[in-house]
Structure 1
Amino acid sequence: MMNTRAHSAYRQAVGAFRNPTLELLHGRYAPFVVATLSLLFTADRPSVQVTDAHIEVGDIVDELRAAGAEEVDRGLPHGTGREICRYWVRVGWLVPQIEDDVEVYRLSAQAVGALDTVGRVGGGTNRVSRSRIRTLLDAVDQLSHDAETDPAERLAVLRAERDRIEEEMRLIAAGEIDPVDDEQLLEEAENILHLSRELPADFARVAESITAMQRDVVAELRRDVRPVGEVLREYLHRGQHVLEATAEGRAFAGALSLIGDPGRIDDLTDRVDALLALPFADTLLPPQRRELAAIARRVEQGVAEVLTAQRRASHVITAQVQTHDPVRDREVDDLLREAMAGLQTWMGASGPGDAVEPVRTFPTASLGHLRQTLSDPRPPGVPAPLHHEEEPDFAEEDARAWGGPHYADLEDHVARLADAGITDVDLAATFADLDTNLRRPVDLLGLLEIAHRNGMTETDEVSVVDAVRPDGTTRRFAFGAVTARTHEEDLP
């Protein structure tokens, strides 16, 4: 096919009609869409909670059906309010967002432009006027002045402007003021309204360009396989300079120098209030008065929307960079692609009424019998039998000698002292008088136990005794001197 001028113009028109703005205006249910969106979203209500929007759209559809609107012109769409809103999201007329942990809908830039177009056409204000031409000429003059590089020419323009202002000041001081008729003031007010109607769409386009840039950056980050340090530096810088990343953002940054000051917004509000109090404002229609009064609020809301999109994009990019893991991201991407491939395969082989059986539990692996122990605790062989000797190494007497105290022999010795009329004895001396086989360390403990049972008295003196072990070695013990009774004390 030859690339003629007609063919090029046709392709350009086809591309233009794919824009969501024209799709909205030329869709089957365009009157319903425009009317519903204009009722949902106003200058005082730029966003609507998702649940509220579903309910309100459903109520509007029911009200129009009850009034018979379904039989008129293009009719009404089918479905609930939720289904209608979800379709508008898919075609790009509504934008879902999260505000204060609540999901809301906002008009897209294309939907704002479509509503503005309908408002201008329906209002019947599209006419050539002095204010429109002056706006055009002022814009051309400003562009010419900014583009001029010759200092002499720029000075000449500024001097001419100064002379004009001084002449106007002289006439005002002399009382020579030519009043402007109400018709011209009305034209200028309509021109202001015309310009203000374009602002919401412009602000929405800036916010959407920032959001689109955010998605592109995150997608690029997931595909980026460069070293982590290099990736962090680049993408953190892009997150901190979001407005500079798009042409719309750079243009908005320049406009923000004019409207970003809250004092300018307040001054704009005061000027509009003063205009509405003038006599010519009585000729404005009530919708025009409300629209004119809402100009400052529109500007403020538009700036807030763009700055919110900027902060959200910076936060998302920074969070993605901080959690950037190329290996994990690739694994997640592979899993998602496998899931999508499986779904496409199932869609190709399934019918309209086929149901998908949900996975309620994870599958378990069939491993058969598992080993219950890592090693056999049984010894590899039978231990050798014990060796019995005819003469044991240790006789019973030797084993008894290394045993506990000889309580019976010790008690007999104490009883003999009592029979001899001795009531109180020194424990150290009594221990020293015992036979060698009764002066073991354990026998000293046994004698102390018998003394404690019969009754004993401790003194501040120190007693020292020598104990003899069964093998003949000695141990010396020191303890507080103890006077023991040879028989048990009578209980009171």
Structure 2
Amino acid sequence: MITRAEGAYLGAVRAFQNPMLDLLHKRHAPLVVSLLSLVFTAERPTVAVADAHTEVADALDQLRAAGYGEDLPTGSARDLCRQWADAGWLVRHVLDDDVEVYRLSAHAVGALEVAGRAGGARARVSQSRVRTLLEAVERLALDADPDVMVRIARLDTEVKRLQGEIARLERTGTVDEVDDEELLEEAENVLHLVRELPADFARVAESIKAMQRDVVTALRQDQRPTGDVLREYLQRGEHVMDSTSEGRAFAGALRLIGDPQRLDELSAQLDTVLRHRFAARLPSHQRAELRELVRRIEQGLDQVFAAQREASYVITAQVRHHDPLRDRQVDDLLRDVMAGMQTWLPGSRRGQAVTPLRRLPVADVEHLRRTPGDLRPAQAPDALTDRDDPVDVSDADARAWGGPHYADLEAHLRALGADAPDVDLAAAFNAAPAQLRRPVDLLGLLELAHQLGMTERDEVAFVDAVRPDGTRRRFAFGATTTRTRDEDG
């Protein structure tokens, strides 16, 4: 049986295994907290990996120049960021444009909030904080009590209180002013609650990502029929927000803060607070926190929704392309590679050459097909049948709808070029008789011009072609001049 002391000790050991407390009790915790708070801000939740390395390196150089070199860890900024990512304080993420970025984990956000509260003004036992506690307990008791008459009595008491307040305001026409000290206490209580939001949003997003990794891992190792796998995991992908306790809690909170009208009302209320005379007694950073409250809520919502969309996309894509046999083959191959490395490394030396694999092994095939398959179709095509109504086409009609009249076109060009060596092709086509102005004759004329030699201009020429049935079609092409005789003519 575990004693109380042992139970308390084991609980503390488990608590300090949390990356948040692990960050705070490290030797270089002040450096980690300061650098993370310097690089990551509410306006800049994600930072490109290369930019983060550069900024951390610049900060380390400034600290060394100021004389803090003995208190700083060894290693480059890249090594420190990699250590922080391995410890669970930073999360690497690839954006849609293939840019790799860092963002703070929920543990790091919580650690920064704890350090910020410890280094700032200490929270006091105030009327505002006690009232918040009492109201929360009252709401909890009201929601937990199933007695209808008790709830009706409580609501009736609240209605009578509100009606009495309305009657007093109508009678006196004045609002009881609240002392500035009490307003300052309430503002500090609001700020205390606000500082918890970033870590809460980050925990929800990371719980969704953890669920995504669990689903994909289970899918790769699943031995059940594919139909069962598809039904279960597609359903989890569609209802990813309901798959974790943090997600369910967030869904409940979203019903309160997800309404744009509610956020607009919150923004108007904060403006009223900041216009009051007591707000001038708040430090500038606290006024900025109150002013940025709505935007921080919107950023947290976007962070959770982005994690939800990514999880749904990854799970759905994994299900669509899931091939258990191939995945198991890849896993077996990777295990073989790791086993080979573990066998080779203990007996190897630094810089030892490795014999490369110059050719792939030949597959041991017992039997190959020696004869091709039957290329003949399964059955012969149907025999051709004579048309019941044969069309009688004369030679003249067939010729009229046939190809270009090259001889007539060439004679037409030579006749136009009797007095000039060059002729404009568009003018020559428009001057030809109707039987030589078919669309196909325009192609023939261009072909003859290419053979005889032609010169293209930057202008656009238009011609009207006439089909044998009398229909017309306008064509446009680059203005061209052609010689009417070849070099020997």
Verify same fold: TM over 0.5.
yes
- Whole-Å Cα distance in 1 between the matches of residues 329 and 216 of structure 2? 16
1:227 equivalent to 2:225? Answer yes
Closer, same or farther: CA 293–347 of 1 in aligned 2, 3 Å: farther
- Whole-Å Cα distance in 1 between the matches of residues 62 and 283 of structure 2? 28
- Whole-Å Cα distance in 2 between the matches of residues 340 and 136 of structure 1? 55
> Which residue of 344, 349, 353 corresponds with 1:346?
344
Paired residues for 1:322-401 under 5 Å: 322-351=320-349, 353-355=350-352, 357=354, 359=356, 361-363=358-360
- Whole-Å Cα distance in 2 between the matches of residues 306 and 313 of structure 1? 11
1:150 equivalent to 2:162? Answer no
Question: TM-score by structure 1 length?
Answer: 0.71
- Whole-Å Cα distance in 2 between the matches of residues 175 and 286 of structure 1? 35
Q: Is the 8 A contact 1:55 1:81 kept in 2?
A: yes
1:316 equivalent to 2:314? Answer yes
> Which residue of 89, 93, 99 corresponds with 2:95?
99
Paired residues for 1:50-65 under 5 Å: 50-65=49-64
- Whole-Å Cα distance in 2 between the matches of residues 150 and 137 of structure 1? 21
Q: What displacement does 1:98 show?
A: 2.1
What SS class does the counterpart of residue 105 from structure 1 fall into?
Answer: strand
- Whole-Å Cα distance in 2 between the matches of residues 303 and 4 of structure 1? 44
Query: Which residue in the other structure is 1:19 paired with?
Result: 18
> Which residue of 157, 160, 177 corresponds with 1:160?
157
Query: Which residue in the other structure is 1:269 paired with?
Result: 267
Query: Which residue in the other structure is 1:282 paired with?
Result: 280
The code of the aligned residue for 1:8 comes to G
The code of the aligned residue for 2:93 comes to Q
- Whole-Å Cα distance in 1 between the matches of residues 18 and 353 of structure 2? 36
Unaligned segments of structure 2, at least 5 residues = 365-369, 372-489
Query: Which residue in the other structure is 1:115 paired with?
Result: 112
1:76 equivalent to 2:72? Answer yes
Closer, same or farther: CA 144–349 of 1 in aligned 2, 3 Å: same
Query: Which residue in the other structure is 2:388 paired with?
Result: none
Q: What displacement does 1:266 show?
A: 2.3
Query: Which residue in the other structure is 2:126 paired with?
Result: 129
- Whole-Å Cα distance in 2 between the matches of residues 350 and 273 of structure 1? 69
What SS class does the counterpart of residue 91 from structure 2 fall into?
Answer: strand
The code of the aligned residue for 2:125 comes to V
What SS class does the counterpart of residue 177 from structure 1 fall into?
Answer: coil
134-143 or 167-176: bigger deviation = 167-176
What SS class does the counterpart of residue 183 from structure 1 fall into?
Answer: helix
Q: Is the 8 A contact 1:243 1:253 kept in 2?
A: yes
Closer, same or farther: CA 143–355 of 1 in aligned 2, 3 Å: farther
The code of the aligned residue for 1:100 comes to D
Identity %: 58
The code of the aligned residue for 1:215 comes to R
Q: What displacement does 1:288 show?
A: 0.8
Query: Which residue in the other structure is 1:179 paired with?
Result: 177
The code of the aligned residue for 1:30 comes to A
- Whole-Å Cα distance in 1 between the matches of residues 346 and 198 of structure 2? 44
Query: Which residue in the other structure is 1:37 paired with?
Result: 36
- Whole-Å Cα distance in 2 between the matches of residues 362 and 277 of structure 1? 77
Q: What displacement does 1:299 show?
A: 0.8
Query: Which residue in the other structure is 1:87 paired with?
Result: 83
169-178 or 248-257: bigger deviation = 169-178
- Whole-Å Cα distance in 2 between the matches of residues 273 and 78 of structure 1? 48
- Whole-Å Cα distance in 1 between the matches of residues 304 and 225 of structure 2? 33
The code of the aligned residue for 1:87 comes to Q
The code of the aligned residue for 2:180 comes to D
- Whole-Å Cα distance in 2 between the matches of residues 350 and 117 of structure 1? 48
Q: What displacement does 1:192 show?
A: 0.6
Q: Is the 8 A contact 1:50 1:103 kept in 2?
A: yes
Q: What displacement does 1:161 show?
A: 0.7
> Which residue of 184, 195, 213 corresponds with 1:197?
195
Closer, same or farther: CA 215–356 of 1 in aligned 2, 3 Å: farther
Find the structure with the greater CA-based Rg: 1
Q: What displacement does 1:341 show?
A: 1.2
- Whole-Å Cα distance in 2 between the matches of residues 157 and 355 of structure 1? 81
- Whole-Å Cα distance in 2 between the matches of residues 40 and 348 of structure 1? 41
Q: What displacement does 1:294 show?
A: 1.4
Deviation by residue 1:173-195 (Cα, 9 ceiling, x = unmatched):
22243211111111111111100
- Whole-Å Cα distance in 1 between the matches of residues 124 and 196 of structure 2? 17
What SS class does the counterpart of residue 77 from structure 1 fall into?
Answer: coil
- Whole-Å Cα distance in 1 between the matches of residues 134 and 322 of structure 2? 52
Q: What displacement does 1:343 show?
A: 1.9
Closer, same or farther: CA 356–154 of 1 in aligned 2, 3 Å: farther
- Whole-Å Cα distance in 2 between the matches of residues 297 and 356 of structure 1? 57
Closer, same or farther: CA 85–360 of 1 in aligned 2, 3 Å: farther
- Whole-Å Cα distance in 2 between the matches of residues 356 and 70 of structure 1? 40
Deviation by residue 1:222-266 (Cα, 9 ceiling, x = unmatched):
111111111111110010000111100000011111111222222
Deviation by residue 1:82-108 (Cα, 9 ceiling, x = unmatched):
111111100000111122322111111
The code of the aligned residue for 1:156 comes to A
Deviation by residue 1:283-312 (Cα, 9 ceiling, x = unmatched):
000111111111111111111111110110
> Which residue of 218, 237, 244 corresponds with 1:246?
244
The code of the aligned residue for 1:277 comes to R
Unaligned segments of structure 1, at least 5 residues = 368-372, 375-492
What SS class does the counterpart of residue 178 from structure 2 fall into?
Answer: coil
Q: Is the 8 A contact 1:125 1:190 kept in 2?
A: no
- Whole-Å Cα distance in 2 between the matches of residues 366 and 299 of structure 1? 60
- Whole-Å Cα distance in 1 between the matches of residues 263 and 355 of structure 2? 56
Closer, same or farther: CA 280–68 of 1 in aligned 2, 3 Å: same
- Whole-Å Cα distance in 1 between the matches of residues 344 and 67 of structure 2? 43
- Whole-Å Cα distance in 2 between the matches of residues 338 and 360 of structure 1? 16
Deviation by residue 1:423-469 (Cα, 9 ceiling, x = unmatched):
xxxxxxxxxxxxxxxxxxxxxxxxxxxxxxxxxxxxxxxxxxxxxxx
Count of aligned pairs:
364
Q: Is the 8 A contact 1:43 1:294 kept in 2?
A: no
Deviation by residue 1:7-64 (Cα, 9 ceiling, x = unmatched):
1111111111111111110111100110011111111111111111111111111111
- Whole-Å Cα distance in 1 between the matches of residues 297 and 221 of structure 2? 38
- Whole-Å Cα distance in 2 between the matches of residues 315 and 44 of structure 1? 27
